Amino acid sequence: MIKSFHRTPFIVLAGVIAFALHWTFEYRQTQQYEQSKDHIKLQILHINDLHANYYPTHFWGQNHKISPLALIKGFVQSKQNKYQNSLFVSAGDAMEKGSVVEYLSGGRSTIEIYEQLGLDLLTLGNHDFAYGLDTSAEFSNRGAKQTLSANLQFPPQTKSATQAYKIFDVQGVKIGFLGLTAAPYNSKNHSFPGPYYEGMSYDYNFEAITKKTIAQLKSEGADIIILLSHIGIKLDRQLAKSLNGEIPLIIGGHSHTTLRGLEKTNGVYIAQAGRYASHVGEIVLYINKQTKNLDHIKYELHPVHPAIMPVDLHFNQFIENTLKWHTADWDDVLCRQTESLQPKDLAKIMGEALINTNKADWVMIDSNLFWQDGPKGPISLQDIFSVVPTEIQKPGTTGYSGLYSVELTGEEIEQIKKAHVRDTLNYIGSKNLNAQQFYRVFTHKKYALNLDYYYKIKRPVPAQQEVQMFELYQAMCQEHIQPYFESAKHHH
């Protein structure tokens, strides 16, 4: 009789051995290329989707606050010392969501901070257009040595120096970069194929525009072409499949994907370094001097943390000074909260505040628009913004999380409640509704401007902008109404 045995440990062990052998082979191969005199080495350090997450914060084990960007700059400087040829690039979305100072300064703080970051290249992301056409154009001129976007063009009067592509001569090898920018988003949070602002040229046929730009780069003698993309991992993969090896590498953004190692699709490597200043990617290309072909590629993904990255203290101080200059009290304590409040609690408390202070009859607030719990302990302006950030969609308009008022009948409110089956939408107001009576209802811009789309309310319903959720939370905090916070929470 043959005794049975459990195969899982043997399968796991075999997998571990295979991985170890593969890693050992890759390491030895990389070391050979590192020592080779027949190859040019090009280091590319890349970031994406920082979304203004540059305010100094506490890292575990540190006594003072450090900006993630001060760590990134210190790390980049230390790494660039190792290679003769090095580029520092960003795949878009420097702006929005992270810093309350950026919001209050209309993007100015990000322009000033990125101007000192030291980027060689950046591709514009969709959020980099949040604060108006002129601000976006200025950022394109000051955020890096060169800004790229092959599918967008600014109007001439903005004097943006954005280009479709850029060629670097690296020890006789021409390395071409092209950039792609995703389409804008509307008040429904849906992407739409239109201009960011009037007068801009745009083309969202990414495959066609990429192939056209590759042909232009090759006509100018580019030996190796790299795509700096802000269209997301899904479209990056589709492009890789369609390009048939015409480019070896896509450095991506937009989808906030953390790729621990290079992904390979149809012979094209894809890299992306997460979001919110969480990582820096390090790519090293080993290019044959004679054939000018890419013979090998090395990749590492580095977490942003002071335990492994040196801080650029001068840049850290510059960031602190810039934030204070624009908004002196951004980090000051406004109020204190005795315990953390979950999004559903915050929605109910804010709803009752609107009824009491803004003469609302009914309030509908979606818990999903709170990005985290209301913090326990001392609360600053930045803490409040981190709970309810303001996404400006469509670009140049009021924030996605803005609260609007509409006049609806009791029958229409009941229709909305039946249509919205998700438990994240919180209703605050009287339970006894008169079907024909009109009520002043506060809800998010997304719903207020699109009642037909979401709730099949066919009649035109004018919507009036009232307040940003961030500003409402700030007002409640500044008025020192913690007892109200507590009583409202326990009441529910």
Check whether residue 320 and residue 377 sit in a common domain: no
Pair 369, 286 in one domain: no
Same-domain pairing of 161 and 58? yes
Dihedral sign (CA 241, 245, 247, 249) = positive
Type of residue numbered 339: E
Q: 192 in a domain, yes or no?
A: yes
Q: Which of 234, 230, 123 is nearest to 182 (CA)?
A: 230
Assess whether 221 and 308 both reside in one domain: yes
DSSP string over 271-339: E-B-STT-EEEEEEEEEETTT--EEEEEEEEEE--TTTS---HHHHHHHHHHHHHH-TTTTSEEEEESS
Instruction: Return the DSSP state at 156.
Output: G
pLDDT at residue 33 in the model: 76
Note the residue count of the chain. 492
Q: For residue 472, what is the domain's CATH number?
A: 3.90.780.10
Tens of pLDDT, residues 25-60: 566 767 787 778 888 999 999 999 999 999 998 887
Q: How far is CA 273 from CA 54, 126, 391, in A?
A: 16, 17, 22
Q: Which of 100, 83, 96 is nearest to 42 (CA)?
A: 83
Whether 461 maps to a domain, the answer reads yes
Q: Is the dihedral of CA 140, 141, 142, 143 positive or negative?
A: positive
Residue 28 lies in a domain: no
* Whether residue 256 sits in one domain with residue 191: yes
Domain's final residue, options 297, 325, 353: 325
Q: Please, which residues bridge with residue 12 across strands? A: none
Same domain membership, residue 336 and residue 271: no
In this structure, is residue 11 part of a structural domain? no
- pTM for the model stands at 0.87
Residue 231 lies in a domain: yes
DSSP 56-101: -BPPTT-SS-B-HHHHHHHHHHHHHTT-SEEEEEE-S--SSSS-HH
Tens of pLDDT along the chain (492 residues) come to 444 444 555 555 555 565 455 556 566 767 787 778 888 999 999 999 999 999 998 887 777 899 999 999 999 999 998 899 999 999 999 999 899 999 889 999 999 999 999 999 999 999 999 999 999 999 999 999 999 999 999 999 999 999 999 999 999 999 999 999 999 887 777 888 888 999 999 999 999 999 999 999 999 999 999 999 999 999 999 999 999 889 999 999 999 999 999 999 999 999 999 999 999 999 999 999 999 999 999 999 999 999 999 999 999 999 999 999 998 888 888 888 788 888 888 888 888 888 877 788 888 888 888 888 888 888 888 888 888 877 777 776 666 677 888 999 998 888 888 876 667 888 888 888 899 999 999 988 888 888 888 888 888 888 887 777 777 777 777 664 454 444 444 544
| 15, part of any domain | no
Q: Quick one: 319 and 350 in the same domain?
A: no
Are 340 and 234 part of one and the same domain? no
Q: Do residues 318 and 364 both lie within one domain?
A: no
Phi, psi angle pair for 69, to nearest 5°: -70, -30
Same domain, 304 and 341: no
- Domain span holding position 42: 37-325
Which of residues 325, 340, 368 is at a domain's end?
325
| 124: in domain | yes
What are the C-alpha distances in Å from 81 to residues 45, 75, 87, 89, 249? 12, 10, 12, 16, 23
Q: Judge if 221 and 346 occupy the same domain.
A: no
What was the pLDDT predicted at 305? 94
H-type alpha helices, 143-268: 206-219, 233-243
Does residue 264 share a domain with residue 365?
no
**pLDDT at position 62, please?**
75
What CATH code is carried by the domain that includes residue 247? 3.60.21.10
Do residues 152 and 181 make contact, with C-beta atoms less than 8 angstroms apart? yes
Q: Considering the domain boundaries, does residue 447 fall inside one? A: yes
Alpha carbon 178 to its chain's center:
20
- Give how many domains the chain has, as a whole number: 2
pLDDT in tens, 389-409: 777 777 766 666 778 889 999
Q: Which of 271, 290, 325 is the last residue of a domain?
A: 325
- Cα Rg of the chain, angstroms: 26
Dihedral of CA atoms 280, 102, 253, 203 in degrees, nearest 10, equals -150
